[in-house]
Structure 1
Amino acid sequence: MMRCLMLVALVFMSISMMAQRVSLTVPSGHAKNIEQIAVSPNGKYVASISHKTVIIWDVAANKKIHEISLEISLAAVEIRSVSITDKLDKVVVSSNDGLYCYNIQTGKKLFKDGGVTAGASLSKDGAVVYAVDFGGLQMYDAESGQKIKRIDYFANNSAGNCKFYELGNNRLLVLYFFGWSIVNTATGNIELKKFFKDIYAEKLSAYDYDKGSNTIVGLRDDQYVVLDVPTANLLKTKKPIYYPLGLCAMGNSQLLAFSHDYKTKSYKIELMQLPSLTVSKTISQPDSEVPETIFYGTKPIVVSGTQKIFYNNNNELFTVNASTGVYEKKFTNRIADFKPFFYYKNLTQRLLADNTLRFATEDNGIRQFDFESYKPIGYVQAMKRIILSADGKLMASIDKKITILNGITGGVVKTIPLPATIDPEIEFFFFNYNNSKLVYTEKLKGVLHVLDIATGVSTKLATLGTLLMRESSSFDGKYFAAITSKNNINFLTVYNLESKAIVLNKRLCEPYKDADCPSDISFLNDSYYIITTSLKEAVRIYKADDAAYSSTFNVEHYNQFSVLGGDIKNNIIAIGEVGQFQVGTHNIKLITKEGKLIKAFKSEKNNDF
């Protein structure tokens, strides 16, 4: 069921954008830029947040495991922190609209404090929430939201955008943009309180604490600065070669700095030693991989005890290994660009037995996508128009000639001339049931042909009518179905490729008299059910292997609608209607083969798929 709904969502995206460029995505990533990142204390999970959406990622599996939509006010224009637990039971978010604590497993809000806007974080054991407001440290029970303790005046009243570091022995360091404090959370004793004399002239635009060197590192007036924690003395300053964007202390007397090199049109990731700020490694990332400079490397965070750092690149998460210098995009949700409409039926017909989806893309290739891991698992370069066999072993590139290719490796198997009377942009092509032949239409003559792949010889199979108006083929290549025309009457004609016989020729309508004449036809996923739809409300269902079967019903709609896919086992068909006055959206109805409505989703809910 879930697999089918995901397929419906993918197909929906493929047909919904009209003339716009379309991307096939797993509905798992952020739509807008990432504002904050957190790593669980054990390093197994990562949380990223963009406005109202928190996504929890499994690092080892490289996929999303939870998504939470926060009940945040429109006034929350700045997300200041996010943190999660090892147990994946709680997430805490701090914004200018207050503190929020949610149960990750249920998505339910545990508590909120609208007065806390300076920053918040979970303790490592997940039992306590630390928060700062008006210079006071507030501690909450993470489960109930009950206030446990408050320590007043531990920081300057203007402290904001706070970061929290547990030092051991109940000691907590809280760092903000113009100072820091160390407090004993058990006794309430304030052990250290440092802040700059001129909080505006000396403030830090980015900052972090390095345990190894016991220093604060930051950016001040676009210069790197290193400050001694006990004394707040300035230990080192350095004017950067490149334009600085963000930084991350590694915890082992090392710093990773992110910057933009305008001269070479690249982005730099520099590994520096602390407190000297000596550069020991420089990693380059090209401009072409960075959509927005202002959203690159501004929120990096280290996986504790490792050389791995997660960093933001617009709406995507990247990792970089400080030791090897290798960076990579993680949790990819965009797979490829493809053309709408043309590949719609390819998408619905290419969910293979091994739970992978194969489809042709606009960059002239075949993509393979695993539904379990949410990862692309293969790419085969191809040519102009691509036809895939049901088992994925063969593909055909259709142009002025037909090139048969190995579907796995992309190697050329055979090249066959295309008959001169056949227009590859108009005619319908598909592989037959055993991959020995390529079947194609000659629509204006109402003819079905077959091309023997081994010999290259074309043979006329049958004349199905005077005109083929719409057509489809079963997933396994056994049946061909078309809306045909003869003597100004439209028929549903079904041809069996195995028996080489017309098995159904059912009168549908007279198009000049009947307003509800079928205008489209498709096989429902990998079944032998055939669905026809009209410009009005009529939906008709037939079976290629059962001439007696039929089901007719109406689907109420106001705008153009089409069949998106279905789950035959559970008797579910998804039909999408273009949203009123909306671009690229559908109102989706789930119905049975008998026309009974199961559930309807308005266009604003489509993201739920």
Structure 2
Amino acid sequence: MRTHWYLPVLLVIALLDPSRSSAQPNASKVELHVETGHTRAITALAYSPDGRTIASASDDQTIRLWDVTTGTELKSMEGHSDNVKSVMFSPDGKTIASASDDQTIRLWDIDTGAELKQIRGHSGSVNAIAFSPDGTMLGSGSDDGTVRLWDMKTGKELRRFEGHTKPVISLDFSFDGKTIASGSLDRTIRIWNADSGAERRRIDALSYFIDISPDGNTIGSGSDDKIVRLWDIRTGVELKRFTGHSSSIRDIAFSPDGNTVASASDDKTVRLWDPQTGSELKRFDGPGEQFALAFAPDGRTLASGDFQQTIFIWDVKSGSEIKRLGGRSAWVRSIDFSPDSTAIVTGHDDNSVRLWKISGPMEMTRLEGHSSMVASVLFSSDGTMIASGSYDKTVRLWDVESRSAIKVFQGHSRSVYALAFTHDGQYLASGSEDQTIRLWNVSTGTEIKQFGGQSGWVRSVAFDFDDKTLFGGGGDVQAWDVTTGAALKRFGGWVSQMALSPDSKILATGSSDHSILLRDAGSGAELKRLQGHTNDVLSLAFSPDGRVLASGSMDGTLRLWDVSTGAELKRIKAHPFWVNSVRFSRDGRILTSGGADGTIKFWTPETARELATVIPLEAEWVVTTPGGRFDTNKSLDKIEGLHWIVNDEILKPVPLEAFMRHYYEPNLLARVLKCTQEGTCDREFKPLPPIGAINRARPSVAVVR
């Protein structure tokens, strides 16, 4: 324990004490890491061999590393283009392997977080991976029904095991590396000879999540039948079954000594079982469905990951919760600028609407009231009101000045995805998953009209420039006469998203082939097809002058298009995950995007340069710039959740105080936006000195401790 305490102290002193000049020339790169946690369900967990680090995989397409002792999020590793399904440390602890729905396996350097290699070959999602005990091979199981062995040095396929008739969900090596077990949706467990690839045994197990006991004699399994089963690996005979879960089992794991079996379930519990007697030893209750398990190498603690993006560390002996990791941020679903561009409003997966003042000292107000995710937010044309639509089936109206709720519009029978004010602010249209558009009187809150007949969920609505025609995008595009409610026209073709140009002449729609179609809003005739996105288009926005179209996609990119020519002007890898919303400021000089990574980013449309990133936390926020400057509303004398990574040494987080006086900039976002528009940023911000030359503050007692 003394060694574990002493090393971090030496690191802090080396970085903070200017008298230790020998450390300074080596400090050439610094990165501010904001600990946000995962933004979607945690799918897999793994402890490092020394037990100091946990790796977590998630449907947010990232792998994150955590310090077990402090709970610090050390690094987020990004690169996968779809859900990450499995994660493992190599036996020597130097490499992390991850598997994804993007059909790849990726290898990462544990010290720097850098991607070392991509392994390709599977023709379906890769659901499971396992290192051989000597670390020379990696096994993988896929939706293509195969189990494959790969050479760790070359990344080449060594062997292929065929026999499963449905996706392979789980995989494990025996302790001696001679046997591989795989669990599949075909409800069988298969035992393979790792050297020859021959199938030794097939167990009709009705299970597909598996783990081999440390002695290699037993397989544990679980599935949607809610039962944990133990099997003799040599004979295939069922030894025991444990009942108690009330919903599907998502993961199973033996303790390192083999004396305990853990199971995680959709019933929001993790249970520990005695493999000899079958009795339930402990039960851990979490707030969300439990999806992933990992025992620490010493067996004293168990980590579980849940649907609500949180990792729990449990004391195996006492059954008590030791620590929670993550769960700090939520998706940004929708974003809009105020008419004067001094504020933005955002809608989030944590049921909140957030109003941000972005001119002068930044302020954030949470508007609470929705009981489910907020899918759409919008300022009225005069900026005095905000409308929000939610998965709770309601539309809410908020007063900007008082930050309070004005009205709740109820009528939709399913989630509300889209909103549009008339230009005079007297009426509000809402589009819903119930395939209707409803028109509301803003003053009275009454429903004026209902427009039906959409062939799918209504994901976007728009009024034309004189508010006489209402367009709705849901399955197809339809237009209605606002006064009479009469259907005017219908444009065929599947539509993921829709936007109307400021002059109401051009209609942009996202298509099933991931392209964007520009149509004549009057006739529906195709004008241009914009191709480039590799996944569904989630958001579209015209610039105020109508010359540029911005698009955000599930492929993580934000793209800018020339409306007149159809040419792609800029392509930005804006977020590591989905780009849910894009909006221009009303003067067109700033572009903002909201992503499934829980961040809000600001860009210059002309150059596609990133200006700043806003990271919303629960009641706090952090603003960062690409150069490393930051601002926060956190108390500066007690900042948690931020640290520096120096020279890519991700396992050695450096306290924020180390570079505070050089990188902390009050009112950062407002200053960046203003100086960008005025072209005065060189005068507003002094150049940062080289990291190695920074005269750092001397360590304080609080830091050294």
**Shorter-chain TM band:** 0.3 to 0.5
Q: TM-score, normalised by structure 2?
A: 0.41
Q: TM-score, normalised by structure 1?
A: 0.46
Bigger Cα Rg: 1
Q: Which has the higher contact order (CA 8 A, sep 6+)?
A: 2
